[in-house]
């Protein structure tokens, strides 16, 4: 697997950035391919929580369940796909910059393929993700910097 890695600097405190990013209800606001997010079970957000994410991949809508497998506020988190033909694995880190009023966000994304995903990941998914990730981070920056 080859990891897709992208960073962006945001003029907001790490706590603000981390809180927004790990609130999965915000995913469709800043992730281009995320169409809908629904909590799974009754666990509150944080370690062990799960969500059902529907993503647009080319012409297909692909639902997948993601689990928060690492949660270290306000520094890092990891979400892992646990079902479906394409399982994304994303690790996010938020580092303070300078006086702590700015943050550097780094996202690292990998994919695990099962069944038809073994064809989709190298031909479609990875290519689209490489194009989408910089735009997603720009959306994240724009949204957070516009907030009071």
* All structural domains of the chain with their residue ranges: 4-146
Mean pLDDT of 93-115: 96
The whole-number pLDDT of residue 43 equals 75
- Specify the fold of 4-146: Alpha-D-Glucose-1,6-Bisphosphate; Chain A, domain 4 (3.30.530)
Check pLDDT > 90 for residue 148. no
For residue 65, which of 54, 73, 56, 76 has the smallest C-alpha distance? Answer: 54
pLDDT in tens, 57-66: 878 898 999 9
66 vs 46: CA distance, rounded Å = 12
- State the chain's maximal CA–CA distance in angstroms: 48
Write down the pTM of the prediction: 0.92
Other CB atoms within 10 A of residue 66 CB:
24
């Amino acid at each position: 697997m080859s990891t897709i890695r992208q960073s962006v600097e945001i003029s907001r405190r790490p706590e603000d950035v981390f809180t927004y990013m790990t609130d999965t209800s915000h995913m469709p606001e800043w992730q281009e391919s995320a169409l809908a997010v629904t909590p799974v079970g009754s666990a509150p957000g944080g370690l062990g929580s799960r969500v059902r994410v529907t993503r647009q991949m080319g012409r297909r809508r692909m639902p997948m369940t993601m689990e928060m497998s690492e949660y270290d506020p306000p520094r890092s988190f990891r979400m892992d796909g646990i079902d479906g033909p394409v399982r994304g694995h994303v690790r996010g880190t938020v580092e303070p910059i300078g006086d702590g009023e700015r943050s550097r966000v780094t996202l690292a994304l990998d994919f695990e393929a099962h069944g038809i995903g073994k064809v989709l990941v190298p031909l479609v998914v990875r290519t689209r993700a490489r194009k989408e990730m910089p735009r997603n981070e720009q959306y994240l920056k724009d949204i957070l910097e516009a907030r009071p």
